[in-house]
Amino acid sequence: MFYYLIAIFIILLDQVTKWLIVTKMHLGESIPIVEDFLYITSHRNRGAAWGILQGQMWFFYVITAIVIIAIIYYIQKEAKGKLLLGVSLAFMLGGAIGNFIDRLIRKEVVDFIHTYIFNYNFPVFNVADSALVIGVILLMIQMLRDERETKEKSYGENGTHHS
């Protein structure tokens, strides 16, 4: 249940921030937070990251539904006793559902976090996108931990193989 509460929190935070952008800002309007680094910019995306696959809503509906089902399955079957795995999946679940809601209701995703990193104009993103990235990073950390534990069990602490 804890993991689903994390996902619900992410969905609510994502949807509230998007609602604020849609209701309080004009499309294309930008508010500087940290000059030359961070802006709140009202932007819409009808595709995926960097605007790829524009207008392919049915593709996103099908893929996102599969991803959501898979994440719920893994939370139920694999996350018991693995806090980091459960949290990573919860972040990915919240992020996937947050953008899915936009695609279903608005037929586009509301983006608003706009950064310039080392003068690179990074694509505008949102809370759901951030949650997905954080979830993937946490999952990679969990996978590295699992791999290390497997090697330690297989080879022992001193690097010699035990049969």
Please give the positions annotated as active site. 111, 129
Measured CA distances, 111 to 2, 17, 54, 141, 143 (Å): 28, 10, 15, 27, 30
The region that residue 70 occupies, defined by phi over 0 for left and psi between -120 and 50 for alpha, beta otherwise, is: alpha
Q: Which helix (H) or strand (E) holds 13?
A: helix 2-24
Containing 15, the helix (H) or strand (E) segment is helix 2-24
DSSP string, 63-75: HHHHHHHHHHHHH
Chain centroid to Cα 128, Å, comes to: 5
Rounded Cα–Cα distance for residues 63 and 54 (Å): 15
* CB of 75 closer than 8 Å to CB of 3: yes
